[in-house]
A and B are shown apart, each in its own frame.
Chain A
Amino acid sequence: MISLRDVSKAYPRAGDALRGVSFRLRKGEFAFLTGPSGAGKSTVLELIHFQTRPTEGEVQVSRYNSRRVRRRDIPALRRRVGFVFQDFKLLERLTAAENVAFALEVIGTPRREIAGRVQRLLSQVGLAARASSRPSELSGGERQRVAVARALATEPRILLADEPTGNLDPDAAGGVFELFRMLNHLGTAVLMATHDADFVRRHREIRRLELQGGRLVGDSAA
């Protein structure tokens, strides 16, 4: 479903962010992406989301290949790959429900379907009761749930999460993590970047991809 083959990424001034990274993530799989700050975790996720292209090697996400992808195909790809950020990226002036509706609207969901789907998505992340609260009225964990509901709006097969628990206290972090596990059980593949070593240690059953200085130095599945 996702495969990186000998991927290198160099930035003009910063130099190599990634060097010769290869791995595959299968349908419905769950994996942590770990490593110290600057190791290249975000870069890997951005490559899979086609926000940047590799300098060398290739990234394949279902039928999209970084060498051959056309610019106009990228929106379709991104609908299959949900993305969740450390800082949530919610629109402050919109309520939780409106934030989710926004995503549905901009991908062309028929207007009459939006309200129903927003409600289902918010229920799925356990936030049905807070639908009309603004982000400023929600806790960090709740905000991240809204962001997850928004990411799920396009019914993605893959969920990428860049330090989704980085801004949360341990309780909230655990809650969001359990949400990912639940979504994974329902069939969504999850790739979660984190440098919370504790967290990873407590879940040894989950595959772990470890980056260091732009290289893949460990893969617990290998």
Chain B
Amino acid sequence: MRAVREALAGFRRTPLLCALSIGAVGLSLVILGLFGLVAHNVGGAIGDVERRMEVVGYLLDDVGPEQVRDARRELEALPAVESVRYVSKNEALERARRDLVEFSDVFGELRVNPLPASFHLRLREGFRTPETVSETAGTLAAYPFIEEARFGDEWVERLFALRSAAAAIALALGGGFALVAVLLIVTTVRMAVLARGEEIEIMQIVGAREGYIQRPFLLEGAVTGFAGGLLALGVTRLAYVVFPARFAAVESLAWLPHPWTVAGVAGAALLGLLAAAFSVHREVGRAYGPS
């Protein structure tokens, strides 16, 4: 109760600094929030592509059924491989006839089947990275009866790269502003401590516990962080509402999952608390000497 009262007094004492702190916390989180919004929405699409991504190996024509069975068993045993589907020459032709109706005449007249049999490998979740994909393709291509191994187009790789780059930029920007926020909170708490220097000195002299002295300042830091987190949530929400209306191509945007928003605001409060703890420890802790 006393801690709450005094934390509020702290806000009244240095309103500009407090507003700046909240703004900086907010800004750093808005950047992360917007990235999260994009990542969350694009994430679904990427996940889809990833799931459908296959590594395909085309077989030479004169491969016996035993070789196929052995190879299949070996491929299925690879840790990265989720499933192996074998498509025989006939099945390939069937499918070609069905899918390429406009060429069905051509296929119908063929004496020999020009299409190769193939293995279709799907990768387990967590292994769907460009590296594992090309590694698996390499393993496949190493079989003497595999003529050629292919995997998803280059754009998949680009999508991955793009997402990593966006994440890096968001983290760097968000982290940068988070650092600014920490410095501002450290300063705010420092000012609050200095403003109450006389009282703090008396408290220490008469034997108040350290926790009792520090609590209002820690609360002030946590509340600053929390307010910044709420601000960021509000701005991100605003962007979420305004954005689709401006871009017809985006029909519906999914809002951030609940755990993300809760973690964001709680994280901001924690950040504020830690910044305040650092500051108050430096400013108040001295009077107790070395521990």
Contact = CB atoms under 8 A, between A and B. Distances in A.
B291 interface: yes
Contacts of A106: 202-203, 206, 208, 212-213
Contacts of A151: 206
Nearest to B200: A106
Contact of B207 (A52, A53, A79, A89): A79
Given A102-B202, A106-B212, A78 B207 contact: yes
Which of the listed residues A51, A72, A74 has the most CB atoms from chain B within 10 Å of its own CB? A74
A153 B198 CA distance: 18
B111 interface: no
A9 interface: no
Which of the listed residues B199, B208, B210 has the most CB atoms from chain A within 10 Å of its own CB? B208
B201 interface: yes
Contacts of B201: 89
A72 B206 contact: no
A32 to B, nearest CB: 22
Contact of A107 (B199, B207, B287, B288): B207
A91 B206 contact: no
Nearest to B290: A53
A219 to B, nearest CB: 27
A151 B207 CA distance: 10
Given A51-B289, A70-B291, A71-B288, A91 B199 contact: yes
A49 B210 CA distance: 16
A77 B207 contact: yes
Which of the listed residues A70, A74, A103, A106 has the most CB atoms from chain B within 10 Å of its own CB? A106
Interface in B45-82: none
A102 B6 CA distance: 14
Contacts of B291: 70-71
Nearest to A52: B289
Which of the listed residues B199, B213, B289 has the most CB atoms from chain A within 10 Å of its own CB? B289
A154 to B, nearest CB: 6
Given A89-B198, A91-B198, A108-B212, A103 B287 contact: no
Given A72-B210, A75-B208, A103 B288 contact: no
Nearest to B285: A71
Contact of B202 (A52, A72, A77, A103): A103
Contacts of B208: 75, 106-107
B246 interface: no
Interface string A129-156: 0000000000000000000001101100
A154 B289 contact: no
Interface string B198-227: 110111111111101100000000000000
Interface of A: 49-53, 70-72, 74-79, 83, 89, 91, 102-103, 106-108, 150-151, 153-154
Interface of B: 198-199, 201-210, 212-213, 287-291
17 contacts: A51-B289, A53-B289, A71-B288, A71-B290, A72-B209, A74-B207, A76-B207, A77-B207, A78-B205, A89-B202, A91-B202, A106-B202, A106-B203, A107-B208, A108-B209, A150-B206, A151-B206
Given A103-B202, A106-B208, 19 more contacts: A49-B205, A52-B289, A70-B291, A71-B210, A71-B290, A71-B291, A72-B209, A74-B207, A74-B288, A74-B289, A75-B207, A79-B207, A83-B205, A89-B202, A91-B202, A103-B206, A106-B213, A108-B209, A108-B212
| The 5 residue pairs across chains A and B that have the minimum distance between CB atoms | A78-B207, A71-B291, A79-B207, A106-B208, A75-B207
